[in-house]
Amino acid sequence: MIPNTFSPSRFIATPDRAAQLDPSKVVFGYGRRICPGMHLADVSLFLNIAGILATFDISKALDEHGKDVEPLVEYTNSVVSHLKPFKPYSASLAREPFHAGPSIIVRSGHT
């Protein structure tokens, strides 16, 4: 299987392979040592992501011909690999909504 493509079939049990565990069941611990803030964390994450998706138009960058530019995703080589820092294609686009956002929302009456 290709690791950078989404394939739901990799999570389904087959006769030769067990189903992969749902990470959300593992992250917060088990039994009496379960994280007491798990519901707060889930709701906070959901609200933050929903706010970002409602505020920003998220899409891939376009080249001079109007075609999508695939982002370059690189990882560190270590025991626990991490994503290398990502450099945005346009810093002005990354900052623009933060400066104009609140005034646009107030003027539109969606408060």
The kind and range of the H/E element at 68 are strand 68-69
Rounded to 5 degrees, what are φ and ψ at 99? -80, -40
Domain limits of the chain? 1-55, 60-111
Distance between CA atoms of residues 38 and 29, nearest Å: 10
Q: What is the pTM of this model?
A: 0.52
Asked if 71 and 86 count as a contact pair (C-beta separation under 8 A), the reply is yes
Asked if 12 and 6 count as a contact pair (C-beta separation under 8 A), the reply is no
- pLDDT reported for residue 43: 95
Asked if 55 and 97 count as a contact pair (C-beta separation under 8 A), the reply is yes
Residuewise pLDDT in 10s, the chain (111 residues): 566 788 877 778 888 877 777 777 788 888 888 899 999 999 999 999 999 888 877 888 888 898 988 888 888 888 888 888 877 666 555 555 555 555 555 555 554
